[in-house]
Amino acid sequence: MTTHRILILGGTTEARLLAERLAARPDLDTILSLAGRTRDPVSQPVPVRVGGFGGAEGLAHYLTENGVGILIDATHPFATRISANAAIAARQAGVPAIALRRPEWRSVQGDRWTIVKSVEEGVAALGEQPRRVFVTLGRQELAPLANAPQHVYLIRSVDPVEPPPDLPHAGYLLARGPFSEAAEHDLLRAQRIDAILAKNSGGDATYGKIAAARSLGIGIVMIRRPTAPDMPTATTVEEALLLLDHRLASPAKRGV
């Protein structure tokens, strides 16, 4: 039996679920790559590689040297640099690539969204009057909050924010999802939150805050998802498996 080596660029729930499905297949040798930013990552069902590759050229070299047959980009929808590098590296190495991207959230009746293109625009959209803002951004994206020190911020992250931004009124909450609507509802009420600053990451694990904000009439400043590189894309694990099997059955189709 021919064994195909699969490299998953992960860090998302979808990447872990896909790895679970691939781990049971004897025709595949699957490796999951993590950036290593989370201090205590959840256990994974396949061998894990931790750390960067050294840009697109480094990733292309890894693909070639390790005989990777298919590259799967299952990184966070806002991980624009690694996704761009993945597309370039796949083309350079002549390796088929697919993306697994969960659908973005769509506003429904009752939502109060202000859609912006960046964290900087999001902070500005909060306005001049002091507000109590629930912040659910990545730890590396908090610096623009210092442009609006009048607000009271509640910042949630999986790991401690080190160093914390220079803010006179900020609290920190360490927690790992999934977060239910009921728990988010209680949190928003207890903290007297009147605005949320979030990215349109999509998925069920963190949708609770969206539903809770809707029920409480709280506005959300929503950062628009960036444009992803052009490659065959699945929105679910099942779709990714179908794309993968299609690629495996068409070995002549190389690159993105």
Question: In this structure, what CATH number is given to the domain that contains residue 148?
Answer: 3.40.50.720
Q: Residue 133 above 60 pLDDT?
A: yes
Residues 37 and 79 in one domain: yes
**Is there a domain that residue 91 lies in?**
yes
Residues 124 and 32 in one domain: no
**Is there a domain that residue 244 lies in?**
yes
Residues 38 and 138 in one domain: no
Contact (Cβ atoms closer than 8 angstroms) between residue 210 and residue 111: yes
Name the token pair of 185. Answer: 């509802």
**Is there a domain that residue 159 lies in?**
yes
Amino acid 38: pLDDT: 62
Residues 237 and 195 in one domain: no
Residue type, 10: G
Residues 99 and 190 in one domain: no
Residues 170 and 121 in one domain: yes
**Is there a domain that residue 9 lies in?**
yes
Considering the entire predicted model, what is its pTM? 0.89
Instruction: Give the model confidence (pLDDT) of 200-256 as tens digits.
Output: 999 999 999 999 999 999 999 999 999 999 999 999 999 999 999 999 987 654 445
- CA dihedral in degrees (222, 227, 231, 233; nearest 10)? 20
Contact (Cβ atoms closer than 8 angstroms) between residue 9 and residue 75: yes
Amino acid 244: pLDDT: 96
Report, as an integer, the average pLDDT of 11-18. Answer: 92
Residue type, 8: I
**Is there a domain that residue 165 lies in?**
yes
Report, as an integer, the average pLDDT of 99-128. Answer: 97
**Is there a domain that residue 256 lies in?**
no
Residues 181 and 241 in one domain: no
Looking at the structure of the chain, the number of domains it has is: 2
In angstroms, the CA 105 to CA 19 distance is 24
Tell me the angle at which helices 13-23 and 237-248 cross, rounded to the nearest 10 degrees: 50
**Is there a domain that residue 156 lies in?**
yes
Domain that holds residue 206: 113-223
Report, as an integer, the average pLDDT of 26-38. Answer: 87
DSSP at 102:
P
**Is there a domain that residue 231 lies in?**
yes
Residues 196 and 237 in one domain: no
